[in-house]
Amino acid sequence: MSFLKQINPFESAMKQFDKAASLIKLTESQIAMIKEPRRITEVNLPVRMSDGSIRIFKGFRVQHSIVRGPAKGGIRFHPSVTVDEVKALAFWMTYKCAVVGVPFGGGKGGVMCDPNELTPTELENLSRRYFAEMSDLFGPDSDVPAPDVNTNPQIMCWMFDTYSMHKKQFLPGVITGKPLELGGSEVRSEATALGMVFCVEEATDHLNIDLKKATIAIQGFGNAGSYAAKLLKEHGSKIVAISDISGAYYNSDGIDIDKALETCRKNKTWILTGLEKNTPCEKLEDPGTLLELVVDILIPAALENQITAENAPNVRAKVIAECANGPVTPEADEILEKKNVFIIPDILCNAGGVTVSYLEWVQNRMGYYWSKERINEDLEHIMKKSFDEVLEKSKTYKVDMRIAAFLLAIERVTKAAELRGLYA
């Protein structure tokens, strides 16, 4: 783990950008307009704790680009949040939105905290304080956040209410990932996983892999990972391994995903502790070995920098579907490309979340809400069309899918920046 922490996610993001930008020969001026974040905000958040003391939390919001629309990106609560991590995530959001063609730029936020150590009241106070301190940034036409690691629809409600109280208006379009009762959208909970599954369907068709017979390992069993397991099981796939912070669990005959979900419900959180007692499976001694199992499809759905130059030589999956942001480092990418591993890159693969967030934002602006069937249809169309566009770019330039996705996205962001020109 010490090695993973040394990897700077923003430096990884810049390497990905540079590799793609060199292929389309962007000028220095073009690069200057679209590469670095436009605004970085860091705040100290004083919060009164349950014992009456005041504790200071560090909070960040990065707007990478607003060239194609309002900044868009989640807010994460995690002890390891850093400004470089948030910069990288905002960068990826810019190009994620561009690759699927939704009219947003990239943003991301974070607070250095462990929400599991906070009481419900302390968590609400921190959430509201963060949004109040950043209220000059947020708005339906300027910056629209959403849930991310360790944040959820309830936290979005507190943030939406804080903003609406400041503005003295009902403004659901300021944030997405809300419950249906406050302007949320159908499909939002499973959107990231469902978008990934649409990409996996296209990838397996392209590679002549029978998805109904495919073996799958999933790292991370939070919202995205658990829905991915459920949806792929419904496709007939065999989920042989899953993991979370409690460890990794393996059964070559397939893990009972219903039992895994039941275990999480019993634990009252997305934690699989005790799964080996509830259904046949073994707990792997080293959770990292999940990434090295012989499977058709590997789905990293946890944090960034999980597959590195150290463990990439041991990866034996045919397909990697990046449900997490930045799970494969640039150095690992080169190793995996030589091994002919087909990677569905994060800025395409996990864009289902921001796509349905966009549809939620549109519904909020109209005050008219669509059926689950309508949302599913729109999401499938957008994801499969985007996959096909990236695949075509990959064939044209003879590059891997990650570089192809960046080529497509960079061209779109560059064109928008040039059309807008420079306000002097």
Q: Which residues contact 327 (CB under 8 A, 6 or more apart)?
A: 219, 300, 302, 303, 304, 305, 306, 307, 346
Residues 295-330 pLDDT 10s: 999 999 998 899 999 999 999 999 999 999 899 999
Confidence of residue 37 (pLDDT cuts 50, 70, 90): very high
Does position 424 have pLDDT exceeding 80, yes or no? no
Tell me the one-letter amino acid at 298. Answer: L
Distance CA 228, CA 221 (A): 9
Sorted by where each starts, the structural domains of the chain and their CATH numbers stand as 36-172 (3.40.50.10860), 191-344 (3.40.50.720)
3 state SS of 416: helix
Contacts 24+ apart (CB under 8 A), 313-319: 313/339, 315/291, 315/339, 315/341, 316/292, 317/217, 317/293, 317/341, 318/207, 318/209, 318/342, 319/200, 319/203, 319/204, 319/207, 319/209, 319/343, 319/344
3 state SS of 283: strand
Sign of CA pseudo-dihedral 361, 366, 368, 371: negative
Q: Which tokens belong to 93?
A: 């959001």
Confidence of residue 101 (pLDDT cuts 50, 70, 90): very high
% of the chain residues with pLDDT over 90: 90
Does position 4 have pLDDT exceeding 50, yes or no? no
Distance CA 141, CA 147 (A): 18
Beta strand pairing call for 105-111 and 54-65? antiparallel
Confidence of residue 2 (pLDDT cuts 50, 70, 90): very low
Active site amino acids: 108
pTM: 0.93
Residues 321-333 pLDDT 10s: 999 989 999 999 9
Tell me phi and psi for residue 75, to 5 degrees: -120, 120
Does position 229 have pLDDT exceeding 60, yes or no? yes
% of the chain residues with pLDDT over 70: 99
Distance CA 345, CA 327 (A): 9
Q: Which tokens belong to 284?
A: 């792997």
Distance CA 352, CA 197 (A): 9
Buried b (16+ CB within 10 A) or exposed e, 316-329: ebbbbbbbbbbbbb
Confidence of residue 6 (pLDDT cuts 50, 70, 90): low
Tell me phi and psi for residue 210, to 5 degrees: -80, 105
pLDDT computed for residue 149 by the predictor = 86
